[in-house]
Structure formats: C-alpha cells, structure tokens
Amino acid sequence: MVMQPLTILIAEDSAADRLLLSSILRRLGHDVLTAANGAEAVDTFRQQQPHLVLMDAMMPVMDGFEAARQIKALAGETLVPIIFLTSLSESEALARCLEVGGDDFLAKPYNQVILAAKIKAMDRLRRLQDTVLQQRDQIARHHDYLLNEQRVAKAVFDKVAHSGCLNAAPNIRYLQSPYALFNGDLLLAAFTPAGDMHVLLGDFTGHGLPAAVGAMPLAEVFYGMTAKGYGLADTLREMNAKLKRILPVDMFCCATLLCLSFQRRSVEVWNGGMPDGYLHRVASGERTLLPARHLPLGVLSPESFDERTEVFPMVLGDRVFLLSDGVIDTCDANDQLFGVQRLQQVFAANRQPDALFEEIEQALRQFGGETRDDVSMVEISLLEPAQITPPALVYSDSGQSCPLDWSVSFEFRAATLKRFNPLPYLLQLLLEVHGLRSQSGELYSVLAELYSNALEHGVLGLDSSLKRDASGFARYYQQRNTRLDELQEGYVRLHLQVAPTDDGGCLTIRIEDSGKGFDVERVMARPMDDIRLSGRGVSMIRQLGRNARWTDDGRSACVEFIWKAAQ
C-alpha cells in the first residue's frame, strides 16, 4: 500500500542534521516542518499539528524531553508519534526518551532505511489509534441513541403497565429494577368487578426490546379481561393463545398469575415456569409453596394448554410472595448464587411479618456484590375487604339508550359449563343499565356466588363442608376439577328481569340448577359468621342483595337489586 504523505516536524538544533533529515523525508514524499529547539517545536506543533515528530533529545532553550511532554499533552487523545533522535547510548537515557512519552528512538547517525521503516510503523499505530477513537465515539453515540429509545419505550410502557392498581393498592409491596422491563420482567395488578385482585408476575425470555414488545399485548389482555370479570382460566387461555400466535418459537413468558379474593379469603394460583412462590401464613409462620406446575405462556398450542389452577385458603394478614429468578440467581463476589435456601432462611428468621419484605431486600443487598437489573419481587397481603377500595369504573356513554324494561333467560348445559364462564357477558349486559353501575361490585359478587353455588353444589354435587379446613379446601378444588372434567349432563338456568319502578328500577336475578338442592331452613338458621371457610357464599348473597330467597329445596335462588333514578 502506498503511504499517504504525512506532515512531519523535525526538532533538531544542528542545522546540518535538520537539512539532512528534511531531504530524506521529502524524498519519501512527506511534508516537513522544522524547529531548532524544544520551545520552537512546541509552538510549531500548536500551530500546524503535524502527524509525527522527530525529536532531538539534547537541545538549547528547551530539551527534547520537556518538548515531548508538552506535545503529548497538547495532542490529547490523538496519537502523535514522537521518535527521539539521539546519540545517547546509556540505556537509562534511552529509557527516559520513552518514559516522557516518546514512542521510539533512532540512533545517530541516521540510517535511511530504518528511519523510513520506523515512520511507517508509527503511522500504522497512529491510524489504529484513530480508528479506535472513531469507533469508540460511534459506539457512544449508538449507546446514547439506544438509551433514549429505551427511555421513550419505557415511558410508553409505564402508561400501559401502571394503569392497574400496583401503586394504589395498600396491600401490595413490590421491588422492581427501573429497567427490569428490558430484562423481560413484568408486574401487573388490577381489580376484578367483584373486588378480587389479579396479579401477574412474568418473565419473558430474551432481553431488550423484543422482551418488552411481548409485554404489551400480555398487559392488554390482563387488564381488559380482569376488568370485564373474566376468571384466571379464561385470561390464561387468552394470554397463552395470543403469545403463541405473535411470538417466535423460541420466545415465551414464564408467569405466575393469581387471584386474591378478599371476600372469600382465598388465593387462586397458576404458575408456569416461574420460581416457587410462597404463601406465608402469619399465625404459624408456615409457608405453602406455589411451585410451577405448567409450561410457560406462549409455548403450547391453545388445544393443549393447561389452565388448571390451585386454590388455597388464607386468613387476614397472610401474604403471598412472588419473585423472579433474578432474586435467586443474585451472585456474590465469588459467583455464588443467593439460592432458594438462603431465601428460606430469611423466611424462617422472620418474627415481624410486616418486616419480611425489607428483610429479604436487605439479605439480597448484603449478599450480592452487585445488584442485578432483573430482580422483581412482590408481596400481596390479605386485608379486610373494607380496607381495599377498587377504583370506580368509568363509563363513556351518555345514558340515552339505557334499557329499562326487559328480561332474558339462559340455560347453560354440561358441555358449556365445563369450559365457558358466562359471568363477564352477563355483567356487561347488566351494566348497560345505568342505575346498576354504582353497584357493579356487589352485583358481580352476588352473580359469581350464585353461579358457583349452582355449578359446584348443585350440578357438581360438591359438599361445601369440605372447605372447613385447609386440606379439605384443596381437596374441594381437586374434586371440582375432576367432576367438571367428567360432567356429562346437568344445567344452570339464569333469568334476569329488569323492570322500571316509580322512582327507579329493579333487577331480579333467578338461578336454577339441576342438582339435588339443600336443606334451606338449616342453612338459613346458621349465624352469618365470618370465620368458617365454608358457607360464606349464602351469607354474602343475603348481605349484598335484597330479598334473597331459596325455593324448590334450594335448587332455585332469587335475589333483587334496586336503584333510584338520578334526579
């Protein structure tokens, strides 16, 4: 390769040597600047920025060592190679040439061939440095650009992700690294119309924008379906189908989805591929594991997806902990993992349940040399329903087309009861009636209780007294799944009637089932106590609805909701 001509500064007090060097360099095709001492050399450098300097060590006014130091300082990050010209021969003096910033030296008398070769070598170094600097600046620019993109994406995403109740609910505490989203971690929480709380902690495979992109549709399905009153099973099926459809084969989302019911004091859990969650029982200090029972979301086809959940009873103050693998995989300085055992130890050492969350945080801080950016952790506690205030729903229509006088009947038969949850549709229909909107929570709770009583105790013939203790509770829900799978016949009929009254309106809900019924008088005689896990449904219906009554040996239930017309 032909060398590009360089501008070379010769600093040399001997006029004869200057002349000799100049003519050699010009013959090699370079431009030459000259200086007779160090001070002149520094001045010339400042004014004309040559590419390379040949520097005599011993000069009057300012010697080559000092001039080299100053020129290097002026050059900054740019590499301006300095080759010392020297008749010195002691190794100490030669070493000094390099110590003050020289890049090489050339012994007098000059050898043309070696001089040319050294200039070439120095030029290679100079160009290398140039390239490195350019690339560094380019990377820095790209990096800034990327960070900015992430900031914008995060701002958009925060709007979506935090439209739920994550920050507003008094029973949620969470820890999430600010850029966790770009590590694929996702935390969502929202209220159902009945006042239950749905929480999702997810972890997408992969990093960066691809992971964040998958989070958007997931969040949309979560909020949309939760607000409409869909249960975990429907929501899970929809999330899985959606992710399966849009994500590439090698991308999926590990997730734990749970439904915390303040009314029923229970938690329903589905865990696909996340680390064990924990149900921490405050009274006994015991922990129930909530392990992964399923493949992550987005792996299986809709036909083979398994949305079966587990249900556990809770008492006031009990809390559920969910965490991402970033917590367990936090590394200390020696690459040791924090691990499940250390986490368990923190649980075991805890005396004050309210401090548990901080204690885990603290244990992680003390353990980990560096904090990972994919640590997500959430604690959800069971409070009294009165302590939880779901936000009021916002409706956009004017009320001109509000339906006020109608009735409708449904019959849901076995094949439908197995898979389909009609409640969201029914609720949507009923909320077209403006007068009912302020009672949407109560309405949904009553509908849900009536429907699950008719299905579980009626059609499926499940014994509610099973739910008296914790192990029976689990058995109850296992039986529910089995019997539903095997269901061949039976029905739940639902009649809704909306009629105007003098000062408002009245909704009558009647529900019938094909089951054996129950001893109405005995159940009604029971006190409306709050402590038992079983039988809470009936008392809730009686408290929230009006004129609740059971006929036909308990196979038919009827309840009313009334409202006053707006003035």
Residue 413 burial (CB count, 10 A) = 15
Strands 253-261 and 266-272, bridge-based pairing: antiparallel
Is residue 308 a contact point for other proteins (CB under 8 A)?
Answer: no
Is residue 353 a contact point for other proteins (CB under 8 A)?
Answer: no
Using the minimum distance from each CB to other proteins, give the nearer residue, 275 or 441. Answer: 275
Is residue 277 a contact point for other proteins (CB under 8 A)?
Answer: no
**What are the distances in angstroms from CA 392 to CA 26, 165, 192, 424?**
86, 12, 11, 17
To the nearest whole angstrom, how small is the minimum distance from the Cβ of residue 504 to other proteins?
53
To the nearest whole angstrom, how small is the minimum distance from the Cβ of residue 111 to other proteins?
49
To the nearest whole angstrom, how small is the minimum distance from the Cβ of residue 202 to other proteins?
12
* Radius of gyration, CA atoms only, the chain: 39
Instruction: Spell out the residues 6+ positions from residue 452 whose beta carbon is closer than 8 angstroms to its own.
Output: 537
Question: Of 6, 36, 161, 254, which one interacts with other proteins (CB under 8 A)?
Answer: 254
Tokens coding 531: 């402590």
Considering CB under 8 A, how many residues would be counted as binding other proteins?
20
**What are the distances in angstroms from CA 171 to CA 69, 193, 279, 350, 390?**
65, 18, 14, 19, 12
CA 242 from centroid of its chain's CA atoms: 18
Is residue 301 a contact point for other proteins (CB under 8 A)?
Answer: yes
Question: Of 86, 205, 421, 453, which one interacts with other proteins (CB under 8 A)?
Answer: 205
Is residue 292 a contact point for other proteins (CB under 8 A)?
Answer: yes
Is residue 335 a contact point for other proteins (CB under 8 A)?
Answer: no
> Which string of x and - marks every residue 213-252 that binds other proteins (by CB under 8 A)?
------------------------------------xxxx
Instruction: Spell out the residues 6+ positions from residue 67 whose beta carbon is closer than 8 angstroms to its own.
Output: 11, 38, 39, 41, 42, 55, 59
Is residue 275 a contact point for other proteins (CB under 8 A)?
Answer: yes
Is residue 323 a contact point for other proteins (CB under 8 A)?
Answer: no
Is residue 294 a contact point for other proteins (CB under 8 A)?
Answer: yes
* Cα–Cα distance measured from residue 228 to residue 384, given in angstroms and rounded to the nearest whole number: 23
| Residue 216, Cβ density class (10 Å: 0-12 exposed, 13-18 middle, ≥19 buried) | middle
Sheet holding 31-35, edge to edge: 31-35, 7-11, 52-56, 82-86, 104-107
Strand intervals (E) in 172-265: 172-176, 185-191, 197-204, 253-261
To the nearest whole angstrom, how small is the minimum distance from the Cβ of residue 273 to other proteins?
4
The one segment of 23-31, 161-169, 189-197, 290-298 that binds other proteins by CB under 8 A: 290-298
* Cα–Cα distance measured from residue 379 to residue 278, given in angstroms and rounded to the nearest whole number: 9
Question: Of 20, 24, 246, 295, which one interacts with other proteins (CB under 8 A)?
Answer: 295
The one segment of 293-301, 415-423, 460-468, 483-491 that binds other proteins by CB under 8 A: 293-301
Question: Of 201, 274, 322, 494, which one interacts with other proteins (CB under 8 A)?
Answer: 274
Is residue 299 a contact point for other proteins (CB under 8 A)?
Answer: yes
Using the minimum distance from each CB to other proteins, give the nearer residue, 205 or 539. Answer: 205
Question: Of 284, 304, 352, 366, which one interacts with other proteins (CB under 8 A)?
Answer: 304
> Which string of x and - marks every residue 410-449 that binds other proteins (by CB under 8 A)?
----------------------------------------
Which helix (H) or strand (E) is 277 found in, with range?
strand 277-280
Residue 355 burial (CB count, 10 A) = 11
Binding footprint of other proteins on the chain (CB under 8 A): 203, 205-206, 249-252, 254, 272-275, 292-296, 299, 301, 304
